Amino acid sequence: MKRSHLMYTSLLTIYNTHYPLFFSFPLSSLLPFFLSSVICLPVLAQSENQDMSSDILPDNYLQDAPADSVIQGYLCPMHPAVTAEVDEQTCYICGMALVDGRIKMPHGSHDSHYGGIFFMARDTWHHIEGTMPAPGVFRFYLYDNYSKPLTTMHASARLVYQEFRDENGDETRPPVETLLIDADDGVSFIVSDRRLQLERDFHIRIRFKQDQKEEDRFDFAFYAYSQTDNSSGTLPTNTSTATLIIPDSPEALLSAMLERLENVEMLIKRSRLNEIYLPALEAKDLALALAENPGDTLDEEQMNTLNHAVKDITKAAWRLDAFGDFGDKPAAESSFKVMADGVARVRKIYLRR
């Protein structure tokens, strides 16, 4: 998950072409593709003031790009985890045609490099990876959109264990936090603190440059210590294509939707935010299928309620996809409430029958 400007334009075309009935929500508000300024060492990463197309990069820029930026076979530009070994396939999540992935491309992979949790910043340029390699140790790496390391020289970050806010989100007392310290490698932060333990939620707040107005937030919870399994430093290629089976009956569609909703809720609670896109977008596809095949017993008022609920589910799914990428748990929780409310309205319609 995953995005250059070209990918975004293609998705927006699909968005407007295939789902005009249900979409009034501007996708552009989710993905701010105009990149914020950051000063970084040119030997580490491409200048963010350049277009993200690989055509304009220096000839030698990508020669040492990490192996996980090279995808073998065919993949979805928006969802690189959806791949195939043969041509002329489409992504079951967004409908885009799979492209030849044997190139080095922006957002070619959001896989971790050190066995941690990988997120994309809201400017879509910066990418981060948080790791817990041992009890009481947290390490936080910076990358550009080609998975090349970025310097921490101009960034500042803090690890927040607990915040105290009222119902309006205003801070009522200072948070429990600790500063992240620049590591010796120049491309990561590190902190050692006995409060860092498995299954404990915490989040990072970071400014990628000194004059950044608002901090980016990334939520973490680890359930195993971070390890790099592949001793060669390269990451395995995903050669499978996931397939969503759409049930035939309205009852089966609703049941499948409820199952995805439970999965999204569980992943958010466990702060596994980079995994929520799949069940969220599957719930969206199931809702759209239900709107197309609602059965023959709904009256006009129920159909109107169903269509509005499906619209809200679809909007929430795209938001969950984006906020999962951004690692923003509060925003994901808010979008989940919208999806859960939409599914509850759909369920109520069919319980009345």
Task: Tell me the pLDDT tens digit for each residue of 113-128.
Answer: 899 999 999 888 899 9
- Rounded CA separation 148/106 (Å): 10
Confidence (pLDDT) at 30: 36
Distances in whole angstroms, Cα of residue 165 to Cα of each of 160, 175, 213, 269, 333: 13, 9, 20, 19, 16
Q: Distance (Å, rounded) from C-alpha 157 to C-alpha 240?
A: 37
Handedness of CA 318, 320, 323, 325 (dihedral sign): negative
- The one-character DSSP state at 71 is -
pTM of the model: 0.68
Percent of the chain exceeding pLDDT 70 equals 71
Q: Is the pLDDT of residue 278 over 70?
A: yes
Strand ranges across the sheet with 216-220: 171-179, 156-165, 202-207, 216-220
Per-residue 3-state assignment (H helix, E strand, C coil) for 286-337? HHHHHHHCCCCCCCHHHHHHHHHHHHHHHHHHHHHHHHHHHCCHHHHHHHHH
Instruction: Determine the distance from the C-alpha atom of residue 14 to the mean position of all C-alpha atoms in its chain, rounded to a whole number.
Output: 19
* CA–CA gap between residue 336 and residue 332 (Å, rounded): 6
For the chain, list the domains and their CATH numbers: 117-220 (2.60.40), 250-351 (1.20.120.290)
Tokens of 196: 């860092």
Say if CB 39 and CB 154 are below 8 A apart.
yes
**Which residues, including other chains, have CB under 8 Å from residue 246's CB and lie 6 or more apart?**
253, 285, 286, 289
Sign of the alpha-carbon torsion through 144, 147, 153, 156: positive
Other beta carbons within 10 angstroms of residue 80's beta carbon come to: 23
DSSP three-state, residue 218: strand
Tell the residue number behind the tokens 């080609």, with chain if given.
146
pLDDT, mean over the chain: 77
Provide the pLDDT for residue 330.
93
Is 50 exceeded by the pLDDT of residue 46?
no
Q: What are phi and psi of 8, to 5 degrees?
A: -65, -45
**Picking from 96-110, 111-125, 198-212, 317-331, which range would have the lowest pLDDT averaged per residue?**
96-110
Determine the Cα–Cα distance for residues 184 and 227; give it in Å rounded to an integer: 20
CA distance 248 to 286: 11
Check pLDDT > 70 for residue 229: no
Cα(121)–Cα(129) distance, integer angstroms: 11
pLDDT of residue 63: 55
Of all helices (H) and strands (E), which one includes residue 349? helix 329-351
Q: Pull the structure tokens for residue 202.
A: 């915490």
Q: Compute the average pLDDT of residues 228-233.
A: 50
Tokens of 175: 């948070």
